[in-house]
């Protein structure tokens, strides 16, 4: 097994296990409480409005928006880590069919692994500081790396196909 | 049946089951649920106008139930299909898992049992609720789902341990999947990679252009909805409509992104198991073309639902059915392959 395939398969399995552990922790300790908080804030906004307490109502709406901002990203992190991990393992199985040399294959593999870790990490860091430029930059850099690595992989498969014809 | 074939067979069955559930959900639950949620939200704005906090609370309890109903069904669909993808992945790495055939089969069964129980547990969450639960937050169905998830994690760690064993001791590798360079395999591999790439590009565009704008729009809609309700204005109903449209917009954009990537991944995975599909070449090609066509039709027409309504939704559902039919066709081929091996081994004599 080539080094590139090892990076992809081991990195992918580790990332999938980590993503699932995160999902389990999130489902047991965070999700239900977050959903309660989100639903509670929105209901409170309407109840306050019914009682004509508009400042409190708008504060509750802000709390709802803030909780939902976190919730969307927390769920996205879980699904993206596992999804990207699966893609890495699949690519690991197919990499010997890529029409590139070992060095380029290894560079693509590291690009995929780095991007797959960095992109969801940047997304979850956005929940620590809303609108954090560092977190957004990490997410953009990570997703960019994954897209470039995947585009090069697609070219590699086409080259393999051309070579075999 | 060896661990590898068990995972291939179980994986495709889980994916087909998850997709069938998704199609049934899209046709019979999704739109009806959205309509009921909109009606409940409208009732909440009327309760606000009538200065009736008790009615607001009652309505929100109903909205919570509707959202849980929808959310658990989406999660059932996603987790069942994803467990299938993971099973197919594990099938690919089986030759490098350095355990005895019996232990490998045990791990495969453990993973598949978890993969079946997890979506069942998620599906039941809405119906079981907190009945007889020892916790005030998590019900028995959640406990079932979480336990099934834990089973899958244990199986995954077991597989990783087997892989580590292989790289430590380098034992003789049992037969790998045949290196297939057939037309079907190549079309699935390159077509799948292109689908995944398109999904990533669309996801990046969505995150950059739509995500923050939609979050801001939602906050503004709710703010306007409450202010209008307090003023007893008809604008409250317009805000409820705007919220419904926004929810639909988000749902179709996220569904298009996730489905095109998942279908791409599925196509790549299926490219590896083509040697196991024991059918005539012409049928293998038909299933490949049907799968790829459905994989393109579903996400595109899901996106077009906002513009063309239920007609586009219906075509998207047909796309889903095309993928399911192709999967079942390949599954039949794998069954025929298993049968042929059994006959050769004298298993049926």
Q: Which two tokens stand for residue B13?
A: 């069955």
Give Cα B108 distance to the centre of its chain: 20
User: Could you give the angle at which helices B235-272 and B183-205 cross, rounded to 10 degrees?
Assistant: 150
- Tell whether the model's pLDDT for residue A162 goes beyond 80: no
B296 and B341 in a single domain? The answer is yes
Considering the domain boundaries, does residue B50 fall inside one?
A: yes
Q: Are B45 and B81 in contact (CB under 8 A)?
A: no
Q: Which two tokens stand for residue A102?
A: 């070992």
Domain boundary among B117, B142, B171: B171
Q: How far is CA B254 from CA A16, A135, B23, B114, B273, in A?
A: 21, 22, 16, 27, 29
Considering the domain boundaries, does residue B212 fall inside one?
A: yes
- Which residue on chain A is closest to B180 by alpha carbon? A97
pLDDT for the residue numbered B344: 65
Residue B287: band (very low, low, confident or very high) from pLDDT cuts 50, 70, 90:
very high
- The stretch B104-120 carries a mean pLDDT of 96
Considering the domain boundaries, does residue B44 fall inside one?
A: yes
pLDDT digits (tens, 9 = 90+) for B154-206: 999 899 899 888 888 877 666 566 667 788 988 999 899 999 999 999 999 99
Q: Are A14 and B160 in contact (CB under 8 A)?
A: yes
Q: Which DSSP state fits B177?
A: P
Question: Cβ-count burial of B347 within 10 angstroms (0-12 exposed, 13-18 middle, 19+ buried)?
Answer: exposed
- Number of neighbouring beta carbons within 10 Å of residue B148: 22
CB contact under 8 A, B226 and A28: no
pLDDT digits (tens, 9 = 90+) for B214-247: 999 999 999 999 999 999 888 999 999 999 999 9
Closest residue by Cα to residue B96 from A53, A165, A93, A122: A93
What residues in B contact A10, CB-CB < 8 Å? 163
CB contact under 8 A, B265 and A21: no
pLDDT for the residue numbered B1: 64
B266 and B310 in a single domain? The answer is yes
Chain B interface includes A83 (CB < 8 A): yes
B229 and B328 in a single domain? The answer is yes
B42 and B167 in a single domain? The answer is yes
Query: What is the overall mean pLDDT for chain B?
Result: 89
Q: Which domain holds residue B147?
A: 1-171
Q: Which DSSP state fits B307?
A: H
Considering the domain boundaries, does residue B71 fall inside one?
A: yes
The count of domains in chain B is 2
B253 and B345 in a single domain? The answer is yes
B87 and B193 in a single domain? The answer is no
Residue B348: band (very low, low, confident or very high) from pLDDT cuts 50, 70, 90:
very low
Is the interface score ipTM higher than 0.85?
Answer: yes
Considering the domain boundaries, does residue B177 fall inside one?
A: no
- The stretch A143-147 carries a mean pLDDT of 94
Considering the domain boundaries, does residue B328 fall inside one?
A: yes
Closest residue by Cα to residue A50 from B290, B331, B226: B226
33-52 of A, contacting B, C-beta below 8 A: 33, 36, 39, 42-43, 45-47, 49-52
Of A43, A50, A91, the CB nearest to B52: A50
B159 and B201 in a single domain? The answer is no
- The stretch A39-62 carries a mean pLDDT of 93
B81 and B189 in a single domain? The answer is no
CB contact under 8 A, A17 and B157: yes
Q: How far is CA A3 from CA A98, A103, B24, B89, B113, in A?
A: 14, 9, 44, 19, 33
- Tell whether the model's pLDDT for residue B12 goes beyond 80: yes
Considering the domain boundaries, does residue B59 fall inside one?
A: yes
pLDDT for the residue numbered B254: 92
B67 and B167 in a single domain? The answer is yes
What residues in A contact B157, CB-CB < 8 Å? 17
Considering the domain boundaries, does residue B176 fall inside one?
A: no
More confident residue, B141 or A17: B141
Instruction: Report H helices in B129-211.
Output: 140-169, 183-205
Q: For testing the chain A interface, which of B7, B48, B134 should be mutated: the one with the most A CBs within 10 Å?
A: B48
pLDDT digits (tens, 9 = 90+) for B301-340: 999 988 888 899 899 999 999 999 999 999 899 888 776 7
- Tell whether the model's pLDDT for residue B137 goes beyond 90: no
pLDDT for the residue numbered A165: 47
């Amino acid at each position: 097994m080539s080094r590139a395939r090892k990076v992809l398969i081991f990195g992918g399995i580790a990332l999938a296990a980590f993503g699932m552990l995160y999902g389990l922790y999130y489902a047991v300790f965070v999700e239900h409480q977050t959903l309660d908080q989100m639903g509670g804030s929105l209901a409170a906004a309407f109840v306050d409005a019914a009682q004509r307490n508009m400042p409190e109502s708008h504060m509750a709406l802000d709390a709802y928006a803030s909780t939902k901002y976190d919730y969307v990203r927390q769920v996205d992190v879980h699904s993206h880590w596992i999804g990207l991990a699966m893609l890495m393992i699949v690519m690991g199985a197919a990499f010997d069919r890529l029409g590139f040399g070992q060095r380029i294959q290894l560079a693509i593999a590291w690009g995929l692994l780095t991007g797959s870790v960095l992109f969801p990490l940047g997304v979850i860091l956005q929940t620590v500081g809303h609108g954090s430029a560092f977190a957004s930059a990490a997410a953009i850099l990570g997703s960019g790396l994954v897209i470039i690595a995947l585009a090069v992989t697609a070219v590699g498969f086409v080259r393999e196909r051309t070579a075999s014809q | 049946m060896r661990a590898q074939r068990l995972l291939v067979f179980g994986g495709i069955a889980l994916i087909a089951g998850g997709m069938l559930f998704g199609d049934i959900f899209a046709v019979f639950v999704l739109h009806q649920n959205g309509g009921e949620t909109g009606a409940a939200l409208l009732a909440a704005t009327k309760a606000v106008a009538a200065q009736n906090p008790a009615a607001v609370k009652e309505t929100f309890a109903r909205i919570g139930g509707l959202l849980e109903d929808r959310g658990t069904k989406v999660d059932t669909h996603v987790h069942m299909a994803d467990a299938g993808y993971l099973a197919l992945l594990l099938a690919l790495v089986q030759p490098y898992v350095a355990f005895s055939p019996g232990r490998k089969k045990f791990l495969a069964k453990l993973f598949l049992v978890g993969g079946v129980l997890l979506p069942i547990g998620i599906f039941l969450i809405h119906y079981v609720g907190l009945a007889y639960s020892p916790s005030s937050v998590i019900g028995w169905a959640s406990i079932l789902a979480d336990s099934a998830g834990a089973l899958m994690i244990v199986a995954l760690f077991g597989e990783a341990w087997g892989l580590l064993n292989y790289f430590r001791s380098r034992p003789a590798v049992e037969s790998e999947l045949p290196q297939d360079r057939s037309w079907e395999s190549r079309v699935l591999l390159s077509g799948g990679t292109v689908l995944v790439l398109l999904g990533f590009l669309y996801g990046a565009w969505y995150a950059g252009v739509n995500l923050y704008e939609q979050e801001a729009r939602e906050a503004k809609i709710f703010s306007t909805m409450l202010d209008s309700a307090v003023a007893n204005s008809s604008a409250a109903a317009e805000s409820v409509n705007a919220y419904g449209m926004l929810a639909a917009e988000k749902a179709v954009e996220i569904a298009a992104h996730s489905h095109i990537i998942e279908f791409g991944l599925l196509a790549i995975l299926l490219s590896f198991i083509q040697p196991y599909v024991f059918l005539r070449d012409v049928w293998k090609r038909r299933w490949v073309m049907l799968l790829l066509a459905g994989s393109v039709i579903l996400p595109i027409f899901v996106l077009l639902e906002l513009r063309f309504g239920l007609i586009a939704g219906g075509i998207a559902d047909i796309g889903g059915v095309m993928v399911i039919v192709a999967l079942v066709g390949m599954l039949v081929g794998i069954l025929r392959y298993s049968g042929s091996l059994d006959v050769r081994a004298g298993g049926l004599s």
